Amino acid sequence: MKAVFLGPPGAGKGTVAAQAKDYFKVPHISTGDLFRYNIKNETELGKQVKSILASGGLVPDSVTIAMVKERIAEPDCKDGFILDGFPRTIPQAEALEEMTELDHVLNLVISNEEVVQRLSGRRMCPSTGRIYHVLFNPPKVEGKDDETGEDLIQRDDDKEEAIKHRLEVYNAQTEPLIDFYRKKNLIRDVKTSNNMKPDEVFACVVKALS
Ligand code: AP5
Ligand code: MG
């Protein structure tokens, strides 16, 4: 299965993809996680994109496209993949069309108010990227990762100003992709809200993609 997970910041792309990758037995490729990995390890790419991520802006298309092209050419992607956070612009979507043919584009739908609640309470394990929420999806022990016991962190771009900017960037540059893919009959809409547990959202996603 070759799928793209689309949706505003905080829609739950990463949370759903963590379950879907095991269910569909394909790798989960999050461009945000790839950039954060490079930042953490202070690679050249990491140094180049650090301030862009912190502000909530977009990394240039040329850089992002080259990174994804290389990643999906790896052997573990031969039977499919879940792309989370890519494409995010029309030029990225056009470049992806030249690389491969998609089966589904999941569109996670959520209100702006709920996005802000989600992002301001999100916590993350710095080494595994596992995602929590202080209220909606808390770890077993407050502030610690369930498996590694590491201290959880808050992402730099989950501060109020950056959240606002990310939503503006989403509306201007990424939302037009819904139409782009709807015309190609690839969009599968799934409505989510903070009243739905991640497992309930996942069940809807499986139904939409099966
Ligand atoms: P990226 O990491 O992709 O960030 P994003 O799109 O803003 O999305 P998030 O990861 O914030 O949200 P999510 O939808 O994964 O939600 P999550 O599951 O965590 O990108 C970061 C940055 O990298 C970009 O700003 C940009 O700079 C750069 N970048 C990445 N890709 C790029 C590209 N293609 N081109 C250019 N630049 C790029 O859930 C959020 C919270 O909600 C969590 O706390 C979770 O526990 C909670 N939650 C999840 N599900 C539920 C539920 N059902 N009920 C209640 N709470 C829930
Ligand atoms: Mg994510």
Q: State the pLDDT at residue 9.
A: 96
CA of 10 to the centre of ligand 1 (A): 5
Is residue 194 within 6 Å of ligand 1 at its C-beta?
A: yes
Domain range spanning residue 180?
2-204
Q: State the pLDDT at residue 41.
A: 95
The share of the chain scoring above pLDDT 70, in percent, equals 100
Q: State the pLDDT at residue 4.
A: 98
Is residue 118 within 6 Å of ligand 1 at its C-beta?
A: yes
In a domain, 210, yes or no: no
Q: Is the pLDDT of residue 184 over 90?
A: yes
Structure tokens at 118: 């989600």
In a domain, 136, yes or no: yes
Residue 10, classed as helix, strand or coil, is coil
Q: State the pLDDT at residue 58.
A: 97
Atom number, ligand 1, closest to the C-alpha of residue 197: 53
In a domain, 40, yes or no: yes
Contacts 24+ apart (CB under 8 A), 172-177: 173/58, 173/88, 173/89, 174/6, 174/8, 174/88, 174/89, 175/8, 176/90, 177/6, 177/87, 177/88, 177/89, 177/90, 177/93, 177/105
In a domain, 209, yes or no: no
Structure tokens at 54: 């912190």
Q: Is the pLDDT of residue 193 over 90?
A: yes
Residue ranges near ligand 2 (ion) with Cβ within 5 Å: 14
CA of 11 to the centre of ligand 1 (A): 7
CATH of the domain at 184: 3.40.50.300
d(CA 73, CA 111): 35
pLDDT in tens, 63-104: 999 999 999 999 999 999 999 999 999 999 999 999 999 999
Is residue 130 within 6 Å of ligand 1 at its C-beta?
A: no
In a domain, 100, yes or no: yes
Number of domains in the chain: 1
- Mean pLDDT over all residues of the chain? 96
Q: Is the pLDDT of residue 208 over 90?
A: yes
Is residue 59 within 6 Å of ligand 1 at its C-beta?
A: yes
pLDDT in tens, 17-76: 999 999 999 999 999 999 999 999 999 999 999 999 999 999 999 999 999 999 999 999
pLDDT in tens, 159-175: 888 999 999 999 999 99
Report the catalytic residues.
Answer: 13, 88, 122, 155, 166
Backbone φ and ψ for 120, nearest 5 degrees, come out as -70, -20
Is residue 56 within 6 Å of ligand 1 at its C-beta?
A: yes
CA of 100 to the centre of ligand 1 (A): 24
Q: Is the pLDDT of residue 207 over 90?
A: yes
CA of 126 to the centre of ligand 1 (A): 15
In a domain, 177, yes or no: yes
Q: Nearest ligand to the C-alpha of residue 7?
A: 1
Give which of 101, 105, 114, 85 is closest to 173, Cα–Cα: 85
Q: Nearest ligand to the C-alpha of residue 83?
A: 1
CA of 39 to the centre of ligand 1 (A): 17
Q: State the pLDDT at residue 160.
A: 87
Is residue 8 within 6 Å of ligand 1 at its C-beta?
A: no
In a domain, 75, yes or no: yes
In a domain, 133, yes or no: yes
